[in-house]
Structures are given as structure tokens and as C-alpha cells.
């Protein structure tokens, strides 16, 4: 089959078109990669947070104010039950989205920077970026937590990167 724009002598955009080159240069920019990863992480985190919030109603009680009396949600009118549920879902979704976006932007930007400095694309970049990202994310909890975050994030990054680089069953 021959689809339009494919095959020998096909029309379309050549590789040396200035717009294609500009787009490729933009996509290779570490800042752009980090920003795109942050936006995609925010979106994915929002969906994940919404799903997890919808699954977390394991207690039938609702606390209107911190430290206030607990009221069973089922005893509230339906409109208020929906309001409570949707408000909680929105807050959790936004919180998870921010976290995923921050992790995505940090890790991708740092990994891209390390890759540019080393001029190599290997497992070491991901491990080093994981260590730096884990340390940055846990910095407010103290040096031991930062070291633990570094080790944990580096190990997770190494495991995921090794799996993604492994040859597939084809």
C-alpha cells in the first residue's frame, strides 16, 4: 500500500526543512524536556490522584474542621455528600499532580543536564539524576533523609532504566 506522503518520491516535509530543524533543536533543549515532563507529570498525577481519591473512602466519617466532631458522610444530604467527595477528590488530585510534575521536571532536567555534560547516553545518567533528584526532594527532612532519598531514587531509576534498556522479546 502506498499512503499519501510516504514512499519513494513522496511529498511532505524534508529533514532539512528549517521548521523541522527548529523543532528538533527545541526538543533537544534540557529546559524544554524538563518543562514538558513537568506538564505531563502534572497531568498524569492529576489522573492518578483522582483515581486514588475515589478509592480511598474507607472511612464513613467526615470531619468538617480539623479536630471537630466527626459526622458520618452517609447521614449528610446527597448534595453535601457530593460536595464533600468532589472537594476531597480535587484537593488530592491537585496535590498528587503537583508532586508528579515536580518529580518529572526535576528528574528529566537533571538527567538531560548530566547527559549533556558526560556526552553519553547510558545507565549512569539515570542513576546520578535519581540520586540528585532524591536528595533534592528529601532535603527539608535533614541530611539522613536526603541520603536515603538519593539511594532510593537512584535504585528505582536504575531498575526502571535497566528494564527499559533490556532487549525485548521480538
**Rounded Cα–Cα distance for residues 46 and 102 (Å):** 12
Q: What is the pLDDT of residues 90-103, one digit of tens each?
A: 999 999 999 999 99
Per the model's pLDDT, the better-predicted residue between 2 and 22 turns out to be 22
**149-169: b (≥16 Cβ within 10 Å) or e:** bbeebbeebbeebeeeeeeee
pTM value is 0.75
- Residue 1: band (very low, low, confident or very high) from pLDDT cuts 50, 70, 90: very low
> How far lies 86's CA from each of 64, 109, 170, in Å?
14, 34, 45
Q: What is the pLDDT of residues 61-117, one digit of tens each?
A: 555 556 666 667 777 788 888 888 888 889 999 999 999 999 999 999 999 999 999
Name the DSSP letter for residue 103.
H
Please give the span between the terminal C-alpha atoms of the chain, in angstroms, as a whole number: 24
Tell me what the mean pLDDT of segment 29-39 comes to.
92
Per the model's pLDDT, the better-predicted residue between 15 and 47 turns out to be 47
Annotated domain spans of the chain: 23-56+71-108, 122-165
Percent of the chain with pLDDT over 70: 81
Amino acid at each position: 500500500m502506498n499512503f499519501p506522503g510516504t514512499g519513494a518520491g513522496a511529498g511532505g516535509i524534508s529533514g532539512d526543512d528549517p521548521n523541522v530543524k527548529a523543532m528538533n533543536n527545541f526538543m533537544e533543549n534540557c529546559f524544554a524536556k524538563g518543562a514538558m515532563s513537568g506538564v505531563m507529570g502534572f497531568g498524569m498525577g492529576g489522573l492518578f490522584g483522582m483515581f486514588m481519591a475515589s478509592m480511598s473512602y474507607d472511612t464513613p466519617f467526615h470531619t468538617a474542621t480539623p479536630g471537630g466532631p466527626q459526622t458520618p458522610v452517609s447521614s449528610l444530604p446527597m448534595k453535601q455528600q457530593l460536595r464533600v467527595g468532589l472537594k476531597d477528590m480535587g484537593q488530592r488530585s491537585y496535590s498528587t499532580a503537583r508532586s508528579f510534575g515536580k518529580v518529572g521536571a526535576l528528574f528529566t532536567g537533571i538527567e538531560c543536564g548530566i547527559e549533556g555534560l558526560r556526552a553519553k547516553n547510558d545507565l549512569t545518567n539515570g542513576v546520578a539524576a535519581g540520586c540528585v533528584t532524591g536528595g533534592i526532594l528529601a532535603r527539608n527532612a535533614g541530611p539522613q533523609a536526603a541520603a536515603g532519598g538519593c539511594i532510593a531514587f537512584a535504585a528505582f531509576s536504575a531498575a526502571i532504566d535497566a528494564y527499559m534498556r533490556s532487549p525485548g522479546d521480538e
